[in-house]
Structure 1
Amino acid sequence: MKQVLACIGATQSSAAVCDCAAWASRRLEVPLTLLHVLDRSEYPTELDLSGNIGLGSREHLLEELASLDEKRGKVAIEAGRAMLDAAAERVQSAGGEAPALLQRHGDLAETLAGLEQDIRLLVIGLHRTQVHSPGMPVGGHVENVVRTMHRPILVIPGEFSAPKSLMLAFDGSETTRKGAQMLADSPLFLGLPLHLVMVGQGNAERQAALVEARSSLEKSGHHVEVATLEGEVEPALHAYQQENGVDLLVMGAYGHSRIRQLLVGSTTRNMLNNTASPVLLLR
């Protein structure tokens, strides 16, 4: 069965991720699973120190280091379980159903790829170099997840409250056309006012796609405001969002680079680097 999956970790954004995922689970009427992944780069399952220069045959030192690493790993597992239990309690105290709890050891993106077929929506925290500091680079794990996943990803920058409006950054591409239809069909944002925004006039095909998207969204019950902006994409979208008090941004995950399968699009990266609101990334 499809579910909302939320990534919980030892970060300041985890509470917001938890709240957002619980809200999305209720709106979509699907189960919620909370996931904690113990990064194997920090907590390897096996430690081989036999090649360390300087230790030589001092086996007792190797054994002590291995023992310390094993204890560190056990403490990390217990801490992860405690975080999951606290997150589950937070969900239930807000009136939600008891979520499923899942703990894995490995790489986050690889773990999510293995669970992808059961995910309807992924919720993940936006871990910048400095937490809650727009303008700082997005953590590499977010980019890895975006490159790997083929499901909608709701990225939370540190705080969450149920959105009262949203904006779809529309460029006429197949991704954003499908995104408009997805928003029209989904109960996640049902009834919320929606801003359909395109940067640059574009050609006749883009304009026709914009009209079609508006029609589809209005038929589903959204009040739609259409805007065509000038200027650079990222600054123009952020300025519009701030001026109109839009709570949540929806956009495609990639630009149109020939190597977009390898790199998160520059516009996407810039939007994430500078956002103070949740961003729903579409694939």
Structure 2
Amino acid sequence: MTNVVSCIDAAALNDAVCDYSAWAAQQLEAPVTLLHVLEEQQRVQPDVTGNIGLGTREHLLDELAELDEKRAKLALQHGHLLLEQAAKKVQAQGVTVVTQRQRHGTLSNALLDMEDDMRLCVLGLHGEDSANQLHKVGSQLETVIRTVHRPLLLTPSSYTAPKQAMFAYDGSATASKGVETLAQSPLVKGMAVHVVMVADASSKHQEQLAWAKEQLENGGHHVSTALLQGEVEPSLHAYQKQYDIDLMVMGAFGHSRIRQFLIGSTTMKMLQESTSPVLVLR
């Protein structure tokens, strides 16, 4: 697990994806692999029956096949151009080792194939199908979150170098593992970390927060904790805004209300409302 994999598409937020990829690569002292995926286009077969002669039908089908071939070649060339532009941008920010990969198929399958060499995956919150629509998350994002087993850095449309991180903690085994991972990760080296739990104010939850704080402090972080009541998404975002936190961190698939929002409609609501990067730990 060595590479920062940066997912490039035709969306305007490629600049932010490149910026966050370069930042992460420098924090992790890792090379960058730029990935562009060409999805198979499903062409609707036209109805060329009826009163058209056989020769005319065959001619139309030949033209459609030729058009499909031209589209595929143009998509390939466009992908290469996107990757070359992204490589120049990442290299200009001081990343010396940058490779380019173009794949056919789906993004989730391409990332699964690359998992063995992946340390972190960076992709935009808004894909090319939603780049011009506010509060709409890229269509492939939920599939990637569910299937890829590496940390995911989901980026907004503009870049700000992260200075503070907030861990959305629920006390589950998965989230606790995420705390241990974050404590040792150079990705957040030197940052203040806020550990925030949305739950009732019980002694158990206080103890869990104290444990998380100890782990992160042992990793060299300045740590603040908060135990909030209310709905998960608005409570977390309100806290984030109050303390001007520019990186949200959460563990995927815990066993509480945060788990419910991670795998249900609240997850997408959380991501839709996010104006800062979200780091999802697996």
Shared fold per TM-score greater than 0.5? yes
Aligned-partner residue type, residue 241 of structure 1? Q
1:173-219 Cα deviation digits (max 9, x unpaired):
11211111111011010110011111123554433222111001011
Structure with the higher fraction of residues in helix conformation: 2
- Contact kept, 8 Å, 2:13 with 2:156, in 1: the verdict is yes
- Contact kept, 8 Å, 1:81 with 1:103, in 2: the verdict is yes
1:35-65 Cα deviation digits (max 9, x unpaired):
000011x2x6xx7948755577311110011
Structure 2 match to 1:32: 32
Which consecutive residues of structure 2, in runs of 5 or more, have no partner in the other structure? none
Matches of 1:203 and 1:36 in 2, distance apart?
47
Deviates further, 263-272 or 239-248: 263-272
- Cα separation, partners in 2 of 1:233 and 1:100, compared to 1, 3 Å: same
1:237 aligns with 2:246: no
Aligned-partner residue type, residue 28 of structure 2? L
Aligned-partner residue type, residue 171 of structure 2? G
1:82-133 Cα deviation digits (max 9, x unpaired):
0000000001112221411000011111111111121110001111675376
Matches of 1:48 and 1:268 in 2, distance apart?
33
Structure 2 match to 1:19: 19
- Cα separation, partners in 2 of 1:133 and 1:75, compared to 1, 3 Å: closer
Work out the percentage of aligned pairs sharing the same amino acid.
Answer: 49
Give the total of aligned pairs: 276
Matches of 1:52 and 1:197 in 2, distance apart?
61
TM-score, normalization: structure 2?
Answer: 0.90
TM-score, normalization: structure 1?
Answer: 0.90
Deviates further, 78-87 or 201-210: 201-210
Question: How far apart are residue 145 of structure 1 and its match?
Answer: 0.6
Which consecutive residues of structure 1, in runs of 5 or more, have no partner in the other structure? none
Aligned-partner residue type, residue 173 of structure 2? E
Structure 2 match to 1:179: 178
Structure 1 match to 2:199: 200
Aligned-partner residue type, residue 186 of structure 1? S
- Cα separation, partners in 2 of 1:68 and 1:218, compared to 1, 3 Å: same
Matches of 2:130 and 2:30 in 1, distance apart?
33
- Contact kept, 8 Å, 1:91 with 1:98, in 2: the verdict is no
Matches of 2:198 and 2:116 in 1, distance apart?
34
- Cα separation, partners in 2 of 1:266 and 1:174, compared to 1, 3 Å: farther
Structure 1 match to 2:268: 269
1:116-162 Cα deviation digits (max 9, x unpaired):
1211100011116753765x342220011111101110000211121
- Contact kept, 8 Å, 2:31 with 2:95, in 1: the verdict is no
- Cα separation, partners in 2 of 1:209 and 1:9, compared to 1, 3 Å: same
- Contact kept, 8 Å, 1:252 with 1:268, in 2: the verdict is no
- Contact kept, 8 Å, 2:5 with 2:35, in 1: the verdict is yes
Aligned-partner residue type, residue 63 of structure 2? E
RMSD: 2.4
